[in-house]
Amino acid sequence: MSGSLFPSVLRTVVPLVAGWIIVALTGLGFSVGSDTVQSAITLAVAGAYYLVFRLVERLVEKAGGPPWLKGAAGALLGYAQPPRYRSSDDVAELIRQSRP
Count structural domains, the chain.
1
pLDDT for residue 3 is more than 60: no
pTM for the full model? 0.74
79 is in which domain, residue-wise? Answer: 5-98
- The pLDDT tens digits for 19-65 are 999 988 887 766 777 888 888 889 999 999 999 999 999 999 999 99
Between 32 and 82, the more confident residue is: 82
Backbone angles phi, psi at 99, to 5 degrees: -90, 145
3-class state of residue 50 by DSSP: helix
Q: What is the pLDDT of residue 24?
A: 85
